[in-house]
A = this chain, B = another copy of it.
Amino acid sequence: MSVTVTAPDGVPEIRAGDDLAAALLTALGPGDLADGDVLVVTSKVVSKAEGRVVDGDREAWIDAETARLVALRGPTRIVRNRLGLTMAAAGVDASNVAQGSVVLLPLDPDASARRLRAAVAERRGVNVGVVVTDTAGRAWREGQTDIAIGAAGLAVLESFAGRVDAHGNELAVTAPAVADEIASAVELAQGKLGARPCAVLRGRADLVLPPGDDGPGAGALIRADGADLFGYGAREAVIQAVAARPAARTPFGSPVDAGDFVAALARAGIAARAAAPADVRTGRERRAAADIVAFAHGWESAETGDADTDLRFRPVTP
């Protein structure tokens, strides 16, 4: 069995308002797109065509695209963005675009994929699946792979639930994320220098849905918030757990000699709130909560004479 990925050269630089389908179809010759193919395009050019290139402060745009913080370390800010995607910098990118500009992800990448599929059907008369890709890091592995952030007319998860192998075992792996595998396969032919923003994958017509059925889209690949065991970085999880308790609001009810620590909390979006008196039971309880928050940030509390009035912190010594 064979699968082929072909990424044409010659797609022009795309600008806001351009007819993206026309630009891609010009680069793809008549034989390059057939029934059952999957047309894959980077979110970058979709965003450019849809006018999602913006000027201004990158950090402010990351804020705007962020639903909530997931993890923070050094300059790396991993967030769950408004699409539900967990990505560094919310998917806001400053490569392959004019200097000083940044590219935001498409407003609705599944809708972008549906529009592209419809345009291909109308202009070429072929039934294809469409995938819109972006590049993402992984929790436990170095480097990045391309994933599907939009899809139309494609079975994004291949279901083996209930299927048995030749030995009669029910298959433990029940759902290969084929849309993500397609995105990764295509990246191998596209490269990262922006010159080949689209590709055609041929050989898995079984995954392409009939005309009129756009399928669930790539949104179906996003694990629901709350169903996720890794919804927070390890440190941020500790902060969340503490922040959920009233006592957690108390560490900064008394003088704190830890400017760096407070700044770290502020960067993490955890405000150093003054405690209401009712939240404070005993100095020791407050210190216990403060210790755990501090531990999550690589600090520990220093013993002082009066736990009620004097909380001090120092970096954890290994």
Contact = CB atoms under 8 A, between A and B. Distances in A.
A150 to B, nearest CB: 14
A67 to B, nearest CB: 13
A230 to B, nearest CB: 4
A203 interface: yes
B177 A143 contact: yes
Interface string A129-159: 0000001001111111111000000001110
A229 to B, nearest CB: 4
Interface string A42-78: 0000000000000000000000000000010100001
Interface stretch (A19-27, A88-96, A254-262, A263-271): A88-96
A196 B165 CA distance: 12
Interface string A228-247: 11111111011011101101
A302 interface: no
B242 A292 contact: yes
B5 A185 contact: yes
Contacts of A188: 3, 178, 181-182, 185, 201, 203-204
Contact of A93 (B172, B196, B237, B296): B172
A222 B142 contact: yes
B284 A228 contact: no
A288 B234 contact: no
Interface in A1-50: 1-7, 9
Contacts of A110: none
Interface residues of A, number: 99
B167 A144 contact: no
Contact of A169 (B71, B99, B138): B99
A202 to B, nearest CB: 10
Looking at A89, A288, A291, the one whose CB has the most chain B CB atoms below 10 A away is: A288
Interface string A169-191: 11111011110111011011111
Contacts of A97: 167, 169
Nearest to A292: B241
Contacts of A142: 157, 175, 177, 220-223
Contact of A165 (B86, B177, B194): B194
Contact of A230 (B71, B222, B245): B71
Given A95-B170, A135-B173, A241-B296, 19 more contacts: A3-B5, A3-B189, A4-B5, A5-B203, A94-B172, A96-B165, A96-B167, A98-B167, A135-B176, A138-B138, A142-B157, A142-B223, A143-B175, A176-B187, A178-B188, A182-B188, A185-B185, A188-B201, A230-B233
Interface of A: 1-7, 9, 71, 73, 78, 80, 85-86, 89, 93-99, 135, 138-147, 156-158, 160, 163, 165-173, 175-178, 180-182, 184-185, 187-196, 201, 203-204, 220-223, 228-235, 237-238, 240-242, 244-245, 247, 281-282, 284-285, 288-289, 291-292, 295-296
